[in-house]
Amino acid sequence: MAFASKNDSLTLHTDLYQINMMYTYFKMGLHEKNAVFECYFRNMPFDSGYAVFAGLEHIVSYLEQLKFDESDLEFLRQNENYDEDFIDYLRHFQFKCSVNSVVEGEIVFNNEPLLQVEGPLAQCQLIETAILNFVNFQTLVATKASRIKSAAEGDIVLEFGTRRAQEADAAIWGARAAYIAGFDATSNVRAGKLFDIPISGTHAHALVQTYQNDYEAFMAYAQTHHDCVFLVDTYNTLRSGVPSAIRVAKEMGDKINFQGVRIDSGDMAYISKKVRQQLDEAGFYDAKIFASNDLDEKTILNLKMQGAKIDAWGVGTKLITAFDQPALGAVYKIVSIEDQNGNMRDTLKLSSNAEKVSTPGKKQVWRITNNLKHEKSEGDWISVYDENPEKFNSLYMFHPKYTYINKIVEDFKARPLLQPIYESGQLVYTQPDIRQIREYAKQSLAALWEEYKRDLNPQEYPVDLSEKLYNHKMDLINQLREENNSKAMK
């Protein structure tokens, strides 16, 4: 049967091993045990000093549709040897987990929980793959987009990536992530419709090649459009493209809104300066110069350094594919599980690599700001879930690995980053409008010192553990080591 006629949903958008584990839990009577899983990434992408969280909207739309229909069950039945009682359990599957998450647009860092799922073990397991899929890609693209927008220093930045994206979902969710992080519009019309993002478009070389003449092509476009940006580099930017654009703009006068020209090749520093000169000499001081062609934050910064006269940047491939780092590497780990007596037992994964030793237990992340001096963030403080830093007069913050790096913060404000999204399967979170999310991302970034935001070698933002959590982690490491050693001796 062809793809188009298949009964599709995101329920089976999971790795088979999740369903295999669900089956084991089910058969062993463990599937309803309460468990807590947390999602985080270990290293900052692009050597960036910060990341921008995105993906929650897709997670919510996925969880809202999460149920196995008969075609899903039939597929599992045909492919795996699950007993019918398990198939029947899946048939009656109803999402019952609680989910806490940082909100979209939040500035986040490595090694802090971004999203937390608590509920029946089998359910927590099923949703791991989709959650990671959405968070990994969207957070990566939002982070890249934020870096590009910062490099552009307030200029207009347009998202042009669809044609080079890793398929359709990446194109539209990437366009959304880019808009959240500060891009001004997308060229993807569907993303505009689905997510209420502004759309924007100029024209391609094909139009000019169709007429085989800059002037005729621009004139035809001008006769059929009010807002006009002419692509001037098909034949010769300075000799033909720009002069033709100017001629059409003069001849059409008020009949069009001559917004400017786009250049898509060549030495963009040199050419843009010359183009600016030509436009100014013709009296088109307000006409903008758009640039595109394999741009990213590095080229934009460099072009600015060279004094390029570019007002708007079209960015495609390197944004949408997160070209220089195509994976964020976020993971989803179990941190606590109900034992035989019904008590929660915190878990930890030991590793010879210190970075990979996980932090046990259900946690909360607090963004600490100093009340008196400024509104900037002092660092993030990860606590045991029910610990409240505001009960302290001053907060002792220390590096979780190099504990001699520490400070005491007086008169601080602590804001919990993990917010309730689902409570026992019920959606309790109202997703803000996309413009609010975008504004939130802007404010969140503004609360970060410049040292963490610079493109090259940013300072490491403090992500610390509370003393209680740190001691808990150390106790558990020692306990596990002792248990393993005594087992090995036997």
Ligand X SMILES: O=P(O)(O)OC[C@H]1O[C@H](OP(=O)(O)OP(=O)(O)O)[C@H](O)[C@@H]1O
Please report, as ranges, the residues that interact with ligand NIO according to CB under 6 A.
160, 187, 201-202, 262, 292, 314, 316
Burial, 118: exposed, middle or buried (Cβ in 10 Å; 0-12, 13-18, 19+)? buried
Residue 164 interacting partner from ligand ATP, ligand X, ligand NIO, none (CB closer than 5 to 8 Å by kind):
ligand X
Q: How far is the CB of 266 from ligand ATP (least distance, A)?
A: 5
Q: How far is the CB of 233 from ligand X (least distance, A)?
A: 9
Binding residues with ligand X: total (CB under 6 A): 16
Stretch that binds ligand X, among 100-108, 289-297, 339-347, 377-385 (CB under 6 A): 289-297
Q: Which is nearer to ligand ATP, 241 or 389 (CB)?
A: 241
As a whole number of angstroms, the distance between CA 218 and CA 203 comes to 10
Q: How far is the CB of 200 from ligand X (least distance, A)?
A: 13
Does 317 bind ligand X (CB under 6 A)? Our answer is yes
Q: Which is nearer to ligand X, 268 or 445 (CB)?
A: 268
Distances (CA, A) of 381 to 109, 143, 356, 364, 372: 11, 22, 19, 8, 19
Q: How far is the CB of 181 from ligand NIO (least distance, A)?
A: 19
Contact residue for ligand ATP among 267, 280, 390, 450 (CB under 6 A): 267
Stretch that binds ligand ATP, among 175-183, 266-274, 352-360, 474-482 (CB under 6 A): 266-274
Contact residue for ligand X among 316, 360, 389, 458 (CB under 6 A): 316
Residue 268 interacting partner from ligand ATP, ligand NIO, ligand X, none (CB closer than 5 to 8 Å by kind):
ligand ATP
Q: Which is nearer to ligand NIO, 163 or 401 (CB)?
A: 163
Stretch that binds ligand X, among 59-67, 148-156, 165-173, 287-295 (CB under 6 A): 287-295
Instruction: State CA 465 to chain mean position distance.
Output: 24
Residue 205 interacting partner from ligand ATP, ligand NIO, ligand X, none (CB closer than 5 to 8 Å by kind):
ligand X
Give the other-Cβ count within 10 Å of 454's Cβ: 13
Q: Which is nearer to ligand NIO, 72 or 233 (CB)?
A: 233
Q: Which is nearer to ligand ATP, 71 or 302 (CB)?
A: 302
SS3 content of the chain, % helix, strand, coil (to 5): 45, 20, 35
Q: How far is the CB of 220 from ligand ATP (least distance, A)?
A: 23
Tokens matching residue 100: 């806490």
CA angle 88, 93, 99 (to 5 degrees): 160
Q: How far is the CB of 275 from ligand X (least distance, A)?
A: 16
DSSP letters, 372-432, are: TT-SSEEEEEEEETT--GGGSSEEEEE-SSSTTSEEEEESEEEEE--EEEEETTEE---PP
143 touches 181 (CB < 8 A) = yes
Q: What are the b/e assignments for 28-58, b being 16+ CB within 10 Å?
A: eebbebbbbbbbbbeebbbebbbbbbbbbbb
Tell me the H-state helices in 282-316: 297-305
Q: How far is the CB of 313 from ligand X (least distance, A)?
A: 9
Window 294-313: residues binding ligand X (CB under 6 A) = 294-295
Distances (CA, A) of 41 to 15, 138, 265: 19, 13, 37
As a whole number of angstroms, the distance between CA 466 and CA 470 comes to 6
Question: Which of 221, 237, 227 lies closest to 278, judged by CA?
Answer: 237
Does 268 bind ligand ATP (CB under 6 A)? Our answer is yes
Residue 202 interacting partner from ligand NIO, ligand ATP, ligand X, none (CB closer than 5 to 8 Å by kind):
ligand NIO
Stretch that binds ligand ATP, among 19-27, 293-301, 349-357, 417-425 (CB under 6 A): 293-301
Q: How far is the CB of 138 from ligand NIO (least distance, A)?
A: 20
Distances (CA, A) of 490 to 8, 73, 350, 479, 480: 52, 46, 21, 17, 16
Does 317 bind ligand ATP (CB under 6 A)? Our answer is no
User: One symbol per residue from 297 to 316: x for binding ligand ATP (CB under 6 A), - otherwise; what is it?
Assistant: --x--xx--x----------
Q: Which helix (H) or strand (E) holds 465?
A: strand 463-465
Q: How far is the CB of 181 from ligand X (least distance, A)?
A: 16
Q: How far is the CB of 244 from ligand ATP (least distance, A)?
A: 19
Any bridge partners for residue 413, and if so which?
369
How many helices (DSSP H) and strands (DSSP E) are in the chain? 17, 21
Q: Which residues bind ligand X (CB under 6 A)?
A: 160, 163-164, 204-206, 264, 292-295, 314-318
Q: Which residues bind ligand ATP (CB under 6 A)?
A: 265-269, 293-295, 299, 302-303, 306
